[in-house]
Amino acid sequence: MLVQIWGTDKLRDLIICIVIFAIQIRVRGCLNLGLNKFIEKLKNSYMDNKTGHTKAPDFKSSSFVRKRVVFSGKVQGVGFRYEIRILAEQLDLTGWVRNKNRNKVELEVQGKKDKILFLVSHMKSLKRAVVTHVEINEIPIINGEIDFIVKYS
């Protein structure tokens, strides 16, 4: 019956989330067992699958810029940084993303301006995150940067 109501994709996603949550509750504090790394890999794999379906528009030619973006709201613990990383890589953007402090994620991203604006707009529209404020500033370009990474504090 749930398959008829939600469809197989949504039901599968719900089951995966419940399993991950249940595992996290049972192994909290069990760092020596390696289960936390396994859970992290499982979450990353799930996020890679979810973000791989984002359709980007055809982009016009635009200027090459670097932006510092700070997202505020419920943006930690919901796969926000991983979604940024996957989408940034799909859009051929470089830079980094990290948790800044409570309820903030900081992003430095470099590439075509219209692609960066698409990335920011997409992140604001996520249903599993609640973005309450976005601060965007243009900063100097870093020559030679080739990757997009997730930084850990």
Catalytic residue among 66, 81, 101, 143: 81
Give the contacts of 150 (CB within 8 A, at least 6 positions apart).
Answer: 81, 82, 85, 96, 97, 98
Residue pair 131/75 in contact (Cβ under 8 Å)? The answer is yes
Among this protein's residues, is 26 annotated catalytic? Answer: no
Q: Among residues 92, 89, 103, which one has the least CA distance to residue 134?
A: 103
Q: How far apart are CA 58 and CA 20, in angstroms?
A: 36
Q: Among 99, 101, 103, 128, which one carries the catalytic annotation?
A: 99
Is residue 99 part of the annotated active site? The answer reads: yes
Catalytic site positions: 81, 99
